[in-house]
């Protein structure tokens, strides 16, 4: 939560730092892409490393790298000496740190929880993460206006330092022992077998590879344009994004109380509302209706996210959590840069309303297709039967297991 609070504001600060140094929209996109490319390149390696080494140490090392890169970034911006190539390099270092941090963090959370309280624990964890993200973005925006982007980047560096120090002091005596791996390449192959051998898992990873991409294109490229031309500018668009964040927190509260028996069926049905924001922008609807659509989307996406973590916790052996999580993360982000880059040409070719309707239809069609996988419909909750270090116990109502990947949340 400490890192999320600082990092959300820093992502906004980096964009304003580029603009303050004389850059344009293309330069902002280049710095943003520099963070994404290392994520795609190193996520699988990060997942394998996190399953071979103590996960908290991998997280501490990633925090140290991010602290150093953000600290240098802040110093360059504050002193007025930041050049584009330096910001690109430092952004890439930040993405590299996150590629190792994300699988280790998810594996750590999954391994820390036991028994029937897993779903509630994941809901509380995600509420904290989402709440920190919302608060960080709001606080970061206010601080940028008050003290400038350089000092926000400095605060982010301090947040990484604090988070690393806290993680270094963790008492992990209750964590299960893990068997040593069979080499980095062997671990990567093993992670792939874990994913490929579970129809529910690869089906939803593939689903979200496209869903995340088209939703990102709609919200990052088309949304601000629609807001500027039809809704009154940045303020209503900011309110809509805030409504989405509030929805995720409410969805987390809901999942502390609701424990659906068919976890993947319930979660996947809740992906359909992700088609609503694109459709609302295509019309376009009034600000009030857009805010409502974004709120509902946030609630239902969080239901899916908690259901997904519960399925992973139940079905994947503990010593393989991080490498499976890395494939999940990779699927979730791999197509996002391509989709956002293609959004402009697609708009020129077919028009913005048609492009937005296309995004909406793709989300609904892919979700319906995933529901055709028997393992997605049939995976059921097994209270007190979490897998920890051995072969997963599998209930096969129709021939397999159950589910996928959500990093939109």
Position 281 scores a pLDDT of: 95
Banded model confidence at residue 302, pLDDT cuts 50, 70, 90: very high
Q: Output the average pLDDT for the chain.
A: 81
Split at pLDDT 50, 70, 90, the class of 185 is confident
User: Do residues 27 and 331 touch, judged by C-beta distance below 8 A?
Assistant: no
Give residue 332's pLDDT. Answer: 86
Of 406 and 390, the one with more pLDDT: 406
State percent of the chain over pLDDT 70.
Answer: 82
Distance CA 175, CA 388 (A): 10
pLDDT of residue 34: 82
pLDDT in tens, 236-248: 877 888 888 889 8
Q: Report d(CA 380, CA 263) in Å as an integer.
A: 6
Looking at residues 308-317, what average pLDDT do you find? 86
| Mean pLDDT value across residues 195-199 | 89
Domains of the chain: 1-175 (1.20.1250.20), 188-409 (1.20.1250.20)
Best mean pLDDT range from 69-78, 149-158, 226-235: 69-78
Residue range 350-396, pLDDT digits in tens? 999 999 999 999 999 999 999 999 999 999 887 654 444 333 333 33
The CA distance from 340 to 213, in Å, is: 7
Q: Has this prediction a pTM greater than 0.85?
A: no
Interval 260-272: pLDDT, tens: 999 999 999 999 9
- Name which of 243, 191, 174, 205 is nearest 334 in CA terms: 205
Locate 344 and state its tokens.
């402009």
pLDDT of 9 reads 66
Please tell me the predicted confidence (pLDDT) of residue 200. Answer: 94
Share of the chain above pLDDT 90, in %: 32
- Structure confidence at residue 394 (pLDDT): 34
Mean pLDDT of the 209-220 span: 89
Residues 106, 56, 61: CA angle, nearest 5 degrees: 105
Q: Give dist(CA 203, CA 201) in Å, integer.
A: 5
């Amino acid at each position: 939560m400490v890192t999320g609070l600082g990092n959300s504001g820093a992502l906004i600060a980096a964009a304003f730092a580029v603009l303050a140094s004389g850059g344009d929209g293309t330069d902002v996109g280049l710095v943003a892409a520099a963070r994404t490319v290392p994520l795609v390149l190193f996520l699988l390696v990060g997942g394998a490393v996190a399953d071979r080494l103590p996960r908290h140490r991998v997280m501490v090392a990633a925090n140290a790298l991010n602290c150093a890169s953000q600290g240098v970034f802040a110093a360059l911006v504050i002193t007025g000496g930041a050049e584009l190539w330096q910001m690109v390099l430092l952004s890439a270092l930040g993405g590299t740190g996150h590629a190792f941090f994300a699988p280790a963090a998810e594996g750590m959370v999954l391994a820390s929880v036991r028994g029937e309280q897993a779903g509630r624990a994941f809901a509380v964890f995600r509420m904290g993460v989402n709440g920190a993200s919302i608060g960080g973005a709001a606080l970061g925006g206010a601080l940028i206006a008050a003290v400038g982007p350089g000092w926000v980047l400095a605060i982010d560096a301090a947040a990484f330092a604090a988070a690393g120090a806290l993680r270094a002091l963790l008492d992990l005596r209750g964590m299960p022992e893990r068997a040593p791996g069979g080499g980095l390449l062997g671990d990567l192959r093993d992670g792939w077998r874990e994913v490929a051998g579970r129809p529910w898992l690869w089906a939803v990873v593939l689903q979200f590879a496209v869903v995340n991409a088209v939703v990102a294109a709609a919200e990052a490229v088309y949304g601000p344009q629609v807001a500027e031309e039809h809704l009154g500018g940045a303020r209503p668009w900011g309110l809509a994004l805030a409504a989405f964040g509030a929805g995720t927190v409410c969805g987390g509260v809901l999942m502390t109380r609701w424990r659906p028996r068919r976890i993947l069926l319930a979660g996947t049905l809740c992906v359909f509302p992700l088609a609503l924001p694109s459709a609302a922008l295509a019309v376009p609807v009034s600000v009030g209706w857009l805010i409502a659509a974004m709120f509902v989307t946030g609630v239902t996406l969080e239901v899916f996210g908690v259901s997904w973590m519960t399925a992973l916790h139940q079905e994947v052996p503990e010593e393989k959590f991080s490498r499976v999580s890395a494939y999940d993360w990779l699927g979730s982000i791999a197509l996002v840069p391509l989709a956002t880059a293609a959004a402009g040409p697609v708009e020129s070719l077919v028009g913005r309303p048609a492009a937005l309707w296309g995004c909406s239809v793709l989300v609904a069609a892919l979700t319906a297709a995933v529901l055709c996988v028997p393992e997605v419909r049939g995976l059921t909750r097994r209270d007190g039967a979490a897998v920890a270090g051995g072969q997963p116990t599998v209930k096969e109502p129709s021939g397999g297991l159950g589910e996928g990947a959500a990093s939109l949340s």
